Structure 1
């Protein structure tokens, strides 16, 4: 049985639909005109921590000098047990998607069109389309909990993009399923922007980018765990040849000195230990959120085992519910801008338990059942 988004004769694949690929969670709270409880943006609350702000502030004394990324690059490489030549520092993961899209115009091995596995973060597809690529979507079915089935990906796809854990579904795909997509003549791109919110960073391919067949590219962001969305810092991990090819599409000094200082600081052992503690706290807060949401029979999580710092839920009147929650001072992320989803879906950021309780009180006041 095909899902509603699948065309006949192509299980799991869909033609492009008119989704707003440039809509992101910050739009739910930007220019709101009132203070809203933010359950729309997936940045850990209470960040950046004081020690990190102090490190960044201290870097301002060096702004007269051009940025030097060598120390940050060494720190990232050491953090993942890779040679420095396997690291490319970027102005956030979003820049990395643009670099990939541009570099792929030089010609990628294999036949067919780049494949983006949906539902997922929409910026990779937007960047590919902006660069002139004709993108094919593989839509994971809701009936399978939006879990990755490698068999749905066309064997001749030269490029495959997938998130892990996936935004917005909160599904953590097994590393073995991702590895099944790696093959000679293919570039496998894995967006691990939220993997540091998974205790132990289970299922990550970061340390294995040079070991798998074909080309593997892993993208990381410091935005989510450390609260650095405004600083713009992330990085790419891949083989040295791919890193060099992507770097040729960057402008000079693409990452600012404060961002480089932050990247180096967040790779220190103490910072990694703090991130691990935060991941475990998020897991506890997420379990509490799911427990409270279970009080409402009409709210159904997309997966019984979410692993990211957010939960995707389905409700028959989700679009109206989002507006009504906004009227009570709570912002949640609409789901219909993600290919594979529609107006019945909402994404909720995991917050501390007091905020979850406020959400539950609002849902009860709205008569949600």
Structure 2
């Protein structure tokens, strides 16, 4: 067991053993090994992706596999998309690799992770030998962040926006208030492109000291199996991360995908997809509101919702028997077994799920 850094009332008392959470459990575990035929509500990758044009573009890159990957064009495309110089961009094998690089490269003494959120940042920090502090956001406050809950002593702060699994979108200016000299502020924006207009994005900002923004192309474009993401940060931070990165970390097909997804037509398609997700999420939330046994975290902004369900573990198992895989919530620090995360799907799929949920709730009593 490890002990946490000193945290104020928004976190947990120093010196207390960390509760056991399976930080390496992710949604894909719900749909592996004998889960054939399940409707996947556990993984937050947009259904029906990658689109045909992107598959064909990636396939076209295969003729170049004999050469070592050349990341220059993709890096330039990402930089142009965010209006940044290229030295502020680092391409990675998915956003998850970026957390490992940060944990290995940065000389920090008091890292803090704001939970509930994606567990890989804490897992990577712990694997690199860091003692990790936690700030636990509260369900009674709808998992909203209070900047004063983050201890002043923290020299690395990690927060998601919109946050997985709560689907909370924090105001950009509130997050910027966490920045200060001598602190690295890591904002995981892996789901930001699923928010219409990206109104609270910090990607592209150069006025926030110590800011590191992570992006992923996995969710909107369905590239989980290809592994492509990127880091936006000050040039010195990018250089430090690049030094601990293996040679040629991003494959030629992944680089081709990154370049293609930065094009104006692709960005317009992503914006349309975000609007569709918002409409489908509203339909899901309206259906969930019909059940007295279910409470959704309000103001969801991502392509998923977090719900508190009476006898959630039993409901989840019944749902599996009815053909639907939901993501358990108890592996996220700050949540217990009463929570489930549900990916947003099209209305027809949602309607079938709501019928199954009605059956499951009735079955468990």
**TM superposition score category, shorter chain reference:** over 0.9
Per the alignment, in what secondary structure is the counterpart of residue 152 of structure 2? coil
Alignment partner of 1:280: what SS?
helix
Shift of 1:367: 3.9
How large is the Cα RMSD of the aligned pairs?
Answer: 1.5
Question: Can you list the C-alpha shifts for 1:217-252, whole angstroms capped at 9, x where unaligned?
Answer: 000000000000000000000011100000000111
Q: Deviation of residue 10 (structure 1)?
A: 3.7
Query: Among 301, 307, 313, which residue is 2:301 paired with?
Result: 307
> Is 2:9 aligned against 1:11?
yes
323, 329, 339: which one pairs with 2:323?
Answer: 329
CA distance in 2, matches of 1:187, 1:7: 16
Find the aligned partners of 1:165 and 1:289 in 2 and give their Cα distance. Answer: 18
Say whether the 8 Å CA contact 1:92–1:232 is kept in structure 2.
Answer: yes
Instruction: Name the residue aligned to 2:147.
Output: 150
Equivalent in the alignment of 2:219? 224
- Paired with 1:171 and 1:247, the residues of 2 have a C-alpha distance of 31
Aligned partner (choices 336, 339, 351) of residue 342 of structure 1:
336
Asked whether the 8 Å contact 2:99–2:120 carries over to 1, the reply is yes
In the alignment, is residue 252 of structure 1 matched against residue 250 of structure 2? no
1:21·1:337 contact (CA, 8 Å) conserved in 2? yes
Residues in 1 aligned to 2:266 and 2:331: alpha-carbon distance in whole angstroms: 34
Whether the 8 Å CA contact 2:7–2:135 is kept in 1: the answer is: no
Which SS does the other structure have where 1:312 is aligned?
strand
The alignment partner of 1:189 has SS state of strand
- 1:46 correspondence with 2:48: yes
Specify the alignment match of 1:3 in structure 2: none
1:31 offset after TM fit, Å? 1.0
Which residue pairs with 2:166 in the alignment? 169
1:351 matched to 2:351: no
The 5 A counterparts of 1:135-284 are 135-208=132-205, 210-213=206-209, 215-284=210-279
Q: 1:207 is paired with a residue of what secondary structure?
A: coil
Task: Quote the Cα distance in structure 2 between the aligned partners of 1:161 and 1:279.
Answer: 25
The one of 84, 87, 101 aligned to 1:85: 87
Q: In the comparison of the two structures, how many residue pairs are matched?
A: 356
* CA distance in structure 1 between the partners assigned to 2:208 and 2:7 by the alignment: 31
Give TM-score scaled by structure 2 length: 0.95
Deviations along 1:60-82, one digit per CA (max 9) or x if unpaired, are 00000000000000000000000
**How far apart are the structure 2 equivalents of 1:212 and 1:96?**
19
Partners of 2:42 and 2:326 within 8 A in 1: yes
Deviation at 1:33, TM superposition (A): 4.4
1:157-185 per-position Cα deviation (integer Å, ceiling 9, x unaligned)? 00000000000000000001101100000
Runs of at least 5 residues in structure 2 that lack an aligned partner in the other structure:
none
CA displacement 1:297-352 (0-9 Å, x = unmatched)? 110012x2100000000012111111110011100000000000000000000000
- Residue in 2 that maps onto 1:128: 125
Structure 1 residue runs of 5 or longer lacking an equivalent are 1-5
Render the CA deviation track for 1:96-136: whole Å, top value 9, x for unaligned: 000000012xx23xxx5100000000000000000000000
Which SS does the other structure have where 1:325 is aligned? helix
Runs of 4+, deviation exceeding 4 Å: 6-9
Contact 2:113 2:135 in 1 (8 A): yes
Report the Cα offset of residue 9 of structure 1.
Answer: 8.5
Q: Using the alignment, how far apart are the partners of 2:36 and 2:117 within structure 1?
A: 29
The counterpart of 1:68, out of the listed 64, 67, 70, is 70
